[in-house]
Amino acid sequence: PAKDTIALQHGAHRIGVRTDADMARWRSLRFGQFIHWGVYAIPGGEWKGKTYNGAAEWIRSWKELPHEEYDNLYRQFNPVNFDAQQWASQAKEMGAKYMIITTKHHDGFCLWPSKYSKYTIAASPYKKDLLGPMVAAYNKAGIDVYLYFSIIDWSHPDYRASLKTAADSAANKRFQVFVKNQLAELLQRYPTVKGFWFDGTWDDSWKRDGAFTDELEQYLQSIHPGLVMGSRLRADEKGARHFDSNGRLMGDYEQGWERKLPEKIEDVHGNDWEAVMTVPENQWGYNAQWAGHIKTANELLEMLVKSVSLNGNFVLNFGPKADGTFRTEEQQLMTQIGQWMKINGEAVYNGTYAGFEKQDWGYYIRKAGTDSVYMVVFNIPVSGSLRVKMPAHTSLVSVSLQQQTLTPELIGRNEYFIHLSGKQSDTPVVILLKTTSGE
């Protein structure tokens, strides 16, 4: 290590982004669908006529709902209207290229019939595996599947948030074996999955055993080479999470962008990253009563485009109902986003930071490794004139809007106005710049 870094056995094992084909694929997909689904969809944020103010998937931690009652909800979990092909086709219509499914959230309920737990879909009236058909249908629709997995498991007798006694430590060791077994089981059952999305790794018991997080990551890579896993799995031996004690990213991409986005390229330090976003303020699982501001398709598209313009992926969350169907609001959003993506998705997939000076009208996205740069315009100024300042050693070759050539006006050295006078749009407008670089 360099002079100002400390020696770490379980810190980052790589400097810079992963350059292999599996990671390149993850990076090219750019738009994902997140699904939070489990027994928490039954109460849907309400219990005995009262509303829970937190996130619906956390309702078990609400004192008004006795654990005993929550832990028996699975006896009513019977998503008879679940149609994997329907789920996959609407995700495809929306333009998602990957999906992340909660195999097991904090409550510990497994959507697959795990042989390491009795608290699974197999014990519900539905009985059948939900993940198998889901993975198959999404893959058939050309969508990669990632598995969300919570380390925190409220149902497991050996789970400990902190280790105070020798008995706690022994339980924790057994719990680690359980986690490893379940993860290996998931990979063995669903071999086409591309990665894990870990969560619930903030407790002391987990972050104090950086060595285990490191060994687990390497073990999973060894049995499923190419697997993509974010930074949330890992801690180093000093308890630093996501970034090790030398400030280097652990895991394959930065996974800390939860309902927030970076503002500028410097914020992401050259790393791969992914943001996850809810439609209402903070509800991941199904909540019958969405409160507060509900994001619109245009707002969500702006977040997607902004993420891609800063070299990141954007994942939009959905919380299906207990019967296996999606609420109307979510269906409408998927349709609206999809309508735009069908025409303009080419500006998003395989998109990267363009290296242009940011302008108030919106975002630039460069098609990876090419001289094609898309302007995605969210704010048309009253003048109708969009300012474009070319980076050094780059010239503008042509400008087009949907196959239609536009004539830019040179207003300064390597600086242009693109005129959209009279144009109004209620969805973002995409303009393609062909450029050339060299001296």
- Residues near ligand JFZ (CB under 6 A) are 55, 57-58, 199, 256, 258, 276, 284
CB of 378 to ligand JFZ, least distance (A): 26
Q: What are phi and psi of 309, to 5 degrees?
A: -65, -15
Q: In terms of CB distance, is 158 or 203 closer to ligand JFZ?
A: 203
Q: What are phi and psi of 166, to 5 degrees?
A: -65, -35
Q: Rounded to an integer, what distance in angstroms lies between the CA atom of residue 271 and that of residue 336?
A: 31
Q: Rounded to an integer, what distance in angstroms lies between the CA atom of residue 200 and that of residue 430?
A: 39
Q: In terms of CB distance, is 83 or 203 closer to ligand JFZ?
A: 203
Q: In terms of CB distance, is 283 or 394 closer to ligand JFZ?
A: 283
CB of 178 to ligand JFZ, least distance (A): 20
What is the residue whose two structure tokens read 């002079």? Answer: 3
Q: In terms of CB distance, is 276 or 429 closer to ligand JFZ?
A: 276
Three-state SS for 332-367 is HHHHHHHHHHHHHHHHCCCEECCCCCCCCCEEEEEE
Q: What is the DSSP string of 287-312?
A: -SS--S----HHHHHHHHHHHHHTTE
Rg (CA), the chain: 23
Q: Rounded to an integer, what distance in angstroms lies between the CA atom of residue 151 and that of residue 94?
A: 30
Torsion of CA 97, 314, 202, 231, to 10 degrees: 70
CB of 285 to ligand JFZ, least distance (A): 7
CB of 56 to ligand JFZ, least distance (A): 9
Q: In terms of CB distance, is 120 or 317 closer to ligand JFZ?
A: 317
CB of 333 to ligand JFZ, least distance (A): 18
CB of 282 to ligand JFZ, least distance (A): 8
Q: In terms of CB distance, is 284 or 364 closer to ligand JFZ?
A: 284
Q: In terms of CB distance, is 210 or 285 closer to ligand JFZ?
A: 285
Q: In terms of CB distance, is 87 or 197 closer to ligand JFZ?
A: 197
3-state secondary structure of 140: helix
Residue number, nearest CB to ligand JFZ: 258
CB of 226 to ligand JFZ, least distance (A): 24
CB of 41 to ligand JFZ, least distance (A): 13
Cβ pair 400, 408 in contact under 8 A: no
- The two tokens of residue 300 are 């969500």
Q: Rounded to an integer, what distance in angstroms lies between the CA atom of residue 192 and that of residue 147?
A: 11
Kindly tell me the sign of the dihedral angle through the C-alpha atoms of 263, 348, 295, 60. negative
Q: In terms of CB distance, is 159 or 416 closer to ligand JFZ?
A: 159
Cβ pair 132, 126 in contact under 8 A: no
Q: In terms of CB distance, is 55 or 420 closer to ligand JFZ?
A: 55
- The two tokens of residue 366 are 């460069």
3-state secondary structure of 69: helix
Residues in the chain: 439
CB of 147 to ligand JFZ, least distance (A): 13
Q: Rounded to an integer, what distance in angstroms lies between the CA atom of residue 303 and that of residue 31?
A: 11
CB of 359 to ligand JFZ, least distance (A): 30
